[in-house]
Amino acid sequence: MSRTPRAVLLGVVMVLVVGAGKRPPGLGDVTDIRVFDHPTHTRVVVELSRSASYRTGVLENPSRLYIDIDETWIEAPLREPQESSEDAPLQQVRAGQNTLRRARVVLDLNERMAWHRTFRLENPFRIVIDVYLPKGDSQEGSEPENFDRRPVRRVVIDPGHGGKDPGARASGGVLEKDVVLRIGRDLRDGLKRAGLEVFMTRDKDLYLTLEERAARANARAADLFVSIHANASRNRKTHGVETYLLDTRYDRQTARVAARENGTTIDQLSELQKILASLRLGYNERFAARLAQDIHQSLVSSLRGSYQTTLDLGVKRGPFLVLFMADMPAILVEVGFLSNRAEARRMKSKAFASRAAAGIADGILRYRDDHARRLVAGR
């Protein structure tokens, strides 16, 4: 299948079935509808101004999937509906009021659509619908990305936060979004010198949702995804480096980090854990585990070359949304604690960015070379 993945806001068409349609008081709003095409499926994200109950259903002749959202209103059209390419699982997305107190989003399906899944996310409240192509049209359900059969050539770097979202901040005014962008740029340059094709989710002070970050990596059909962050803790003595891969398991410390990076609360992680447990975590896990170990060891070693007190906090697992939404092996690196005065001073320097980037790059290259040897050995 040959397609150019895209992430676009599809038009919204109002189809009022209840007369003039004067808005009743007290309703929430649909604030955005985003559509992301992946090689194996299309993801639709319906964002709301507040949480709401909803239900899905399928209609035939023609095939449609609908989401009815209670106590919610959709305003006038943003643009006309847009059609997908012939080999997409969706033809178009439409939305309007099903009743005066119920919004409806309709996904006009390609007849070859095999199955779909729906889940919700918080802060902001989002309904996510993934619509998949049949197994005969993709490799979904078997080994969709074939990472055990292809070499590592393309890497996507994700500097966390950005724009209106500064991330963690030090008392001296150092912002996480600036620290990780500097590291990301250095890392990009180092990997390019080593012969890899490298893309960044952002190379300037730009705000992106977690869906948009993962979608940009998926659109590039990347072999690896590395999200870079700086940590923070209420205990200002806490310091060190830790690296994460996706899993439903987490301890109290991991829960705090995951909640901050997801933009959720610790209490809401239990709901996310249920979502992850009910969905296939992906056969990417064993590749991500190797990648996390290689990057973590190299990063700690590189930083200790200049900062001997760098503490190794280990490789951990947790429910990180940006990792869950990536189609390829993905890991998240926390390069230090901005809440720690000594580490904050380091992280504002170009020298720290250079050392951190060099360590992450060495880990990626180690993984690439080991992966290449495994391909030759057939394991």
Task: Determine phi and psi for 130, rounding to 5 degrees.
Answer: -105, 125
Token pair, residue 55, equals 């239900």
Say if CB 150 and CB 223 are below 8 A apart.
Answer: yes
Same domain, 182 and 127: no
- 228: domain CATH number is 3.40.630.40
Q: Within this chain, do residues 91 and 211 fall inside the same structural domain, yes or no? A: no
Indicate if 19 and 101 belong to the same structural domain: yes
Question: Within this chain, do residues 226 and 336 fall inside the same structural domain, yes or no?
Answer: yes
Q: Considering Cα of 139, then 217, then 49, then 262, what sign does the dihedral take?
A: positive
Find the helix or strand (DSSP H, E) in which 77 lies: none
Q: Are residues 250 and 326 in the same domain?
A: yes
Q: In this structure, is residue 172 part of a structural domain?
A: yes
Residue with tokens 């280990």, as numbered in its chain:
314
Please say which residue of 76, 97, 132 terminates a domain. Answer: 132
Which of 101, 132, 163 is the endpoint of a domain?
Answer: 132
Rg (CA), the chain: 22
Q: CB–CB of 54/67 below 8 Å?
A: yes
Boundary of a domain, candidates 132, 162, 187: 132
pLDDT tens track, the chain, 379 positions: 334 344 443 433 334 344 346 899 999 999 999 888 877 788 899 999 999 999 999 988 888 999 999 999 998 764 445 565 566 788 889 998 999 999 999 999 887 666 888 888 888 899 999 888 776 554 443 334 477 788 999 999 999 999 999 999 998 899 999 999 999 999 999 999 999 999 999 999 999 999 999 999 988 989 999 999 999 999 999 999 999 999 888 888 899 999 999 988 888 887 777 777 666 566 688 899 999 999 999 999 999 999 999 999 999 999 999 998 898 999 999 999 999 999 999 999 999 999 999 999 999 999 999 999 988 887 6
If asked whether residues 165 and 271 sit together in one domain, one would say yes
**Do the domain assignments include residue 88?**
yes
User: Within a domain: residue 274?
Assistant: yes
Any idea what the Cα angle at residue 318 is, between residues 291 and 201, rounded to 5°? Answer: 60
User: Domain for residue 143, yes or no?
Assistant: no
Q: How many domains does the chain have?
A: 2
Task: Based on the fold, state whether residues 25 and 112 are members of the same structural domain.
Answer: yes
Specify the pTM.
Answer: 0.82
Q: Where are the alpha helices (DSSP H) in the chain?
A: 176-193, 210-219, 252-262, 269-278, 285-304, 321-324, 341-347, 350-377
Q: Other C-beta atoms within 10 Å of 150: how many?
A: 11
CATH number of the domain enclosing 40:
2.60.40.3500
Per-residue pLDDT, 20:
41
**Could you tell me which of 254, 266, 276 has the C-alpha nearest to residue 324?**
276
Range of the domain at 192: 154-377
